[in-house]
Every structure is written in C-alpha cells, then in structure tokens.
Structure 1
Amino acid sequence: MVRRWLQEQRRLGRAYQPRFQRRHLSVTWLGALLSLALLGLLSTWSGMALLTAPLGASSVLLFGYPASPLAQPRNLVLGNLVGGLVSVLAVAWLGRGPLVIALAVALTILLGQQLRCLHPPAGGLAFLGVALGARPSFLLTPVLNGSLLLVLLAAGFSRWVKGAQPYPVHWL
C-alpha cells in the first residue's frame, strides 16, 4: 500500500513539476540578479524604497517560471496592489499585530482570487505592509513602482537576451 502511494506521488510530481531547459537555466538567474540590482541602485539613487522582499519573490516567478499564470503582468501588478491596499486599510482600521497580519494576508488571497489577479508574493506585501505600519504612500513606492519596473525589466530581458523564456504570455 505504501509502495503504491509512493509510486503515485512520483508520477504526479513528474506531471505537475515544471522542467527547465538548460538554455533557460543559464540566463534566468541573470535576469533576476540584474533586475533586483537595478531596483536596488534606483532605490539608492532616488531615495525611494523600490526593493522589498516580496518583490524578490515576484522575481522568482518572473524569471524562474515566466509562463506561470501567476507571473503575468496583470497578476503581478494588480495582485501586489491588492496586497498593498489591504495592508494600508488594515493598518488604518485595525492597527498592527499578528492577527491583523493574518487577516490582511487572507483578504489578499480572497480578493486576488475574486479579481483574477492572484500573485503569491502579494501576500508577502500584505504581511510586510501591516508589520511596517504602511501608509498610503506604500502603494506608490515600493508596490506600484517596484512592480511595474519588474514587469518592464522582465519583458525587456526576455526580448534582448538570447535563450530567455518569452515574457509575458499575455498582458491582461
């Protein structure tokens, strides 16, 4: 019985886990490195915080698995905006704390599903926003500016670098 279960799990793993071609492996890490380094440099130069941990997680999807529906521009930009907005409203109405963080992340998931813009790192933005006591400016910088820059950098990278996977699959 255990043997049958293990065989089934191996079969399912092969069916659902993406496989990456060697030519893509050689450039995807470079895209994430360059994009996040550029966001970091722009942050330093402009004085705006454009680089956050959830945007690092977004880059994993953008460069590691750009064909994923969760990595498409609609999902990334709108999903992150939803997470940012939920966190700002949660802080304004409920303050900060572990229960508020849990509520913000759960609402971000629910709204992302309802609005068809689910993006896993958006939950991280909701978490971060509540933990930091986000104010409305959080929506512009880092959420919107950082998300748009990442999408544009990923789209440009996929067109300019030989061997990069095409991105985006669709814009909306």
Structure 2
Amino acid sequence: MKLKYKNLLQHYSFYLGGDQPHVPWLERIRSVAGAFIGLMLVLTTAKFFGELSGLDEWLMASLGASALLVFALPGSPMAQPWAVIAGNTLSALVGIATIHLVSEPLIAMPLAASLSILGMFILRCLHPPAAAVALIAVLGHVMHYRYAFFPVMVDSILLVMAGALYSNLTGKCYPNKSGLSS
C-alpha cells in the first residue's frame, strides 16, 4: 500500500513542479541576490535618467521577468543580450503601433502579443517577457514611440550590463559565448 502511494506521488509530482531541475541553495541565493542588486541598479539609474530628462515613465513593468532569465538562467538563449534588448524593444514598438491601428483592446492585445512573437522569431530574439511588453503598451495606451527606447530599451541594456557584471563576478559566464565559433 505504501509503495502504491509513493508511485502515485511520483507520477503526479510532474504537475507540482516535479519536472523542475534541482537547483543547489548556493545557486538560488546567487540568482536572487543578483536579481535584487541588478534590479536596484537598473531602477535607480533609470529613475535618475527619467528625472534628468523630465519623463515620468522610467520603468519597464516586465523587468522582473527579464531579470529572472538574466540572473537565474544566464546560459539560456532567451536571456542573451540580443534576445533581451531586441525582444523587449521590438515588442514595445509592436504594441505601440498596434494601439495606433486597433482601438478595440480585445483585438489589440492578442494581436500585439502575437505580432511581437512573430517579430522576435524573424529577428531571432525570442524573449518571453517581451510579449508582455507588447501587452503593457496596449493596456497602458502608450502612444509615444519614445517609450520603446526609454524606458524599454534603456532598461533592457542596463539589465544586461548588470547581469554581465554580476554573473562574471560570481563565476557564471554571461553572455553565453558557447554558440560562437573561435
């Protein structure tokens, strides 16, 4: 009977995160500390730039999701600089263009997200949080293309720079150079 419950638990553990790889506590702490430090640096710098330029918008809302990839999964293709910077910037541009062309949010939101995914496929810069950037632009009725460059592109660049500095200081290679030939 005990074996039956154990087998049942193992079988259904997939649905409760059983498919997630084991991550040692030291790596968890390294990732969490990196995300905290990196986000603090990015947000402080972006806020400073926003105040300096007189702009209220200095924060990209999906930055936390991008930070998860950059600091916890620095080897992922979706966490590499091109994916983060180009994916987020492109998606913001797509979201803004969509809100200019389609006034119905129930059509504009899925259209913006799906077109941003298509654009990321074409430019080879798949970055999952970027699809949220397109939705945020539509939901926020962002009408100025400047938003794609500041805060979205600037925040993305700052995050990648903070990720590279932190990862390399803590023994992780970022950006991942394994795909490059020597």
Q: TM-score normalised to the size of structure 1?
A: 0.83
Structure number, greater radius of gyration: 2
1:137-167 deviation digits (Å, cap 9, x = unpaired): 111111110111100110001122x3x5321
Cα contact 1:39–1:50 (8 A) shared by 2? no
Query: Once the 2 structures are TM-superposed, how far is the Cα of residue 65 of structure 1 from its aligned partner?
Result: 1.1
Query: Once the 2 structures are TM-superposed, how far is the Cα of residue 55 of structure 1 from its aligned partner?
Result: 1.2
Identity percentage over the alignment?
Answer: 33
For the residue of structure 2 that corresponds to 1:53, the secondary structure is coil
- Equivalent residue, structure 2, for 1:114: 122
For the residue of structure 2 that corresponds to 1:52, the secondary structure is coil
Q: CA RMSD in A?
A: 2.6
Cα contact 1:96–1:131 (8 A) shared by 2? no
Structure 1, gaps ≥5 residues long: none
Query: Once the 2 structures are TM-superposed, how far is the Cα of residue 124 of structure 1 from its aligned partner?
Result: 0.8
Aligned mate of 2:166, from 137, 148, 157: 157
Cα contact 1:42–1:50 (8 A) shared by 2? no
- Structure 1 segments, 4+ long, off by >3 Å, are 3-11, 16-19
| Code of the aligned partner of 1:165 | K
Q: TM-score normalised to the size of structure 2?
A: 0.79
- Equivalent residue, structure 2, for 1:41: 44
Cα contact 2:49–2:58 (8 A) shared by 1? no
For the residue of structure 1 that corresponds to 2:62, the secondary structure is helix
For the residue of structure 2 that corresponds to 1:168, the secondary structure is coil
